[in-house]
């Protein structure tokens, strides 16, 4: 039991480190590259570690990225990003559990995971950022608010879809590799 718990904590820490490392390595690249990798790691975390590990990575990563100077520019955005990541993880986990009861190799179900989780995260982030976070950030002009709101709109859906597709390709291989370690 203790070994199993230690293994879960270690793997969660590795996923968190991978996510922060991916953000650091791609910080000068497009939002589409960084966001896709972040979403892939969030999906993979919940699919390989379960809900606890997935939520830990989802919630801690925006704060750690901010503290490392590679995350959101404004601290007011961190709770919204953490909650948006949690939405993605929760929906992925819910659909994964339903898929396990049906046919786990069903491509339509895989597409549903990618789209449902990504759409929910996108909607949550856009509303949370535009309605809650932006009004709390002092000194922003309308143009700055528009740019930030835009970054948390449709690009989030694109990066969630790409990240989901990458996760669906990587997860079976990772599960196979992890099975040999257990």
The tens digit of pLDDT for each residue in 29-69 reads 899 999 999 999 999 999 889 999 999 999 999 999 999 99
What is the predicted pLDDT for the residue at 1?
82
pTM of the model: 0.89
Domain 2-181 - what CATH class? mainly alpha
Torsion, CA 82, CA 58, CA 65, CA 147, rounded to 10 = -50
Look up residue 174 and give its two tokens.
């990772």
CB within 8 Å of 12: residues ≥ 6 apart: 45, 49, 52, 53, 56, 57
Structure tokens at 146: 């528009």
Per-residue pLDDT of 111-168, as tens digits, reads 776 778 889 999 999 999 999 999 999 999 999 999 999 999 999 999 999 999 899 8
At 59, which helix (H) or strand (E)? helix 51-67
* pLDDT tens-digit readout, 97-120: 766 665 656 666 667 767 788 899
How does pLDDT run across 4-31, given as a tens digit for each residue?
899 899 999 999 999 999 999 998 889 9
């Amino acid at each position: 039991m203790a070994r199993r718990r230690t293994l879960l904590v270690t793997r969660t820490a590795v996923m968190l480190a991978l996510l922060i490392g991916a953000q650091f390595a791609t910080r000068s690249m497009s939002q589409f590259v960084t966001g896709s990798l972040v979403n892939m790691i969030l999906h993979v975390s919940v699919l390989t570690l379960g809900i606890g590990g997935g939520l830990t990575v989802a919630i801690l990563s925006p704060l750690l990225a901010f503290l490392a100077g590679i995350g959101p520019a404004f601290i007011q955005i961190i709770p919204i990003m953490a909650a948006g990541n949690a939405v993605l993880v929760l929906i992925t986990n819910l659909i994964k559990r339903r898929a396990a009861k049906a046919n786990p190799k069903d491509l339509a179900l895989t597409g549903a995971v990618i789209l449902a989780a990504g759409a929910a995260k996108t909607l949550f982030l856009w509303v949370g950022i535009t309605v809650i976070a932006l009004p709390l950030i002092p000194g922003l002009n309308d143009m700055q608010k528009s740019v930030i709101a835009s970054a948390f709109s449709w690009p989030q859906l694109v990066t969630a879809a790409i990240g989901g597709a990458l996760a669906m390709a990587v997860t079976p291989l990772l599960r196979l590799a992890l099975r040999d370690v257990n």
